[in-house]
């Protein structure tokens, strides 16, 4: 009788453990949600379904930036935590782990609040490109784990703090260079350039200044045909997205304002920052309170409203999931579209 009771107790214990594990596994797939999708134009319904939710994947970072989907280990997302001088990794079913530290500053003295890497992207060989604040350079992760400096100066003067980058289909790297990574920002005595530029680094290693007309150039992305370069400006006095025609030689024509956030900046936290483009040329651009969905003509279709400062976004998974770095959080939303030229660059 005693053995029978013991066996029953053991069976019940195993059942409850199995039930608890199964329940936990189910709950792990049901991420908490935040915010909402605010719809201003019916065309947004073709891009984001009515049942789409902003999923909160992880939190506890100081300032998350530069999300990038990579195919390593079955696919995962990496992103910068700039103040912690780190790149973090998130993988479905595993959660968060450290991918790299240091990520953007290798010096020995204190280097302010944002020393780490910012924007991350891939070159044509799928090597990771880093925009580094503290070391003030564009670098590349080489086979074997070492980094190579691609550029750290323009005509002998050190760059400010490279912020974000986009790679053209011919391999050229276009990037922005505001002063946000310098310990004292725009007025830092370590500045060697008296402007904030947008540059092109050719595959041959030649650096060209494309424009210095933007006061705080930040996020950067090409249209699907690469005939337009979009650059966000995170200047509180003039928070805009500029659209620059791309000439046949890769230089830029005169830019025009595609979208102005001035009226919105007073309502929600944050500024224009990172941006990406979908296969039809629509912009998914961070701005006050979330990610704004804007047509190539500058029409606002909707806002993925996080309610928080939203730094950047990147396509992932099969190209239809938009991953977002939101202040101290990592989020995502499933869409009905895909990133521009997704098949060509993966």
pLDDT in tens, 306-323: 999 999 999 999 999 999
**128 has a pLDDT exceeding 80:** yes
**2 has a pLDDT exceeding 50:** no
pLDDT at 345: 53
pLDDT at 344: 59
Q: What is the dihedral angle through the alpha carbons of 272, 232, 151, 202, rounded to the nearest 10 degrees?
A: 150
pLDDT at 342: 86
Contact 177, 160 (CB under 8 A): yes
Q: What is the pLDDT of residues 217-230, one digit of tens each?
A: 999 999 999 999 99
Look at 12-16, 47-51, 91-95 and tell me which has the smallest mean pLDDT: 12-16
Contact 70, 91 (CB under 8 A): no
**86 has a pLDDT exceeding 80:** yes
**156 has a pLDDT exceeding 60:** yes
Beta bridge partners of 243: 230, 256
Q: What percent of the chain has pLDDT over 90?
A: 88
pLDDT at 12: 39
Q: What is the pTM of this model?
A: 0.91
Q: What is the pLDDT of residues 29-74, one digit of tens each?
A: 689 999 999 999 999 999 999 999 999 999 999 999 999 999 987 8
Contact 240, 230 (CB under 8 A): no
pLDDT at 7: 45
pLDDT at 9: 44
Give all domains of the chain, ordered by start, each with its CATH number. 32-345 (2.120.10.30)
């Amino acid at each position: 009788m005693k053995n029978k009771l013991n066996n029953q107790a053991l069976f019940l214990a195993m059942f409850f453990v199995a039930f608890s594990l199964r329940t936990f596994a189910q709950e792990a797939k049901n991420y908490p949600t935040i915010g909402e999708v605010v719809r201003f134009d019916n065309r947004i319904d073709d891009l984001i379904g009515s049942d789409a939710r902003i999923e909160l994947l992880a939190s506890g970072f100081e300032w998350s930036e530069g999300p990038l989907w990579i195919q390593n280990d079955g696919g995962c997302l990496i992103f910068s935590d700039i103040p912690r001088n780190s790149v973090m990794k998130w993988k479905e079913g595993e959660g968060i782990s450290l991918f790299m530290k240091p990520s953007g500053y290798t010096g020995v003295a204190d280097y302010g609040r944002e020393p780490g890497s910012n924007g991350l992207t891939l070159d044509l060989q799928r090597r990771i490109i880093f925009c580094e604040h503290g070391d003030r350079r564009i670098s590349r992760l080489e086979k074997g784990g070492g980094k190579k400096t691609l550029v750290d100066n323009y005509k002998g003067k050190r760059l400010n703090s490279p912020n974000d980058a986009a790679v053209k289909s011919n391999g050229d790297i276009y990037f922005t260079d505001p002063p946000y990574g310098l310990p004292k920002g725009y007025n830092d005595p370590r500045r060697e350039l008296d402007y904030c530029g947008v540059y092109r680094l050719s595959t041959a290693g030649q650096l060209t200044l494309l424009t210095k007309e933007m006061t705080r150039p930040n996020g950067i992305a090409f249209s699907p045909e690469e005939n337009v370069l979009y650059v966000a400006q995170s200047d509180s006095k003039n928070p805009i997205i500029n659209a620059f025609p791309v000439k046949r030689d890769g230089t830029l024509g005169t830019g025009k304002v595609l979208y102005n956030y001035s009226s919105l900046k007073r309502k929600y936290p944050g500024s224009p920052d990172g941006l990406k483009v979908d296969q039809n040329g629509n912009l998914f651009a961070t701005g006050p309170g979330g990610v704004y969905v804007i047509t190539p003509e500058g029409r606002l279709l909707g806002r993925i409203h996080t309610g928080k400062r939203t730094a950047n976004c990147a396509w992932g998974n099969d190209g239809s999931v938009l991953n977002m770095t939101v202040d101290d959080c990592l989020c995502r939303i499933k869409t009905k579209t895909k990133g521009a030229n997704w098949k060509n660059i993966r």
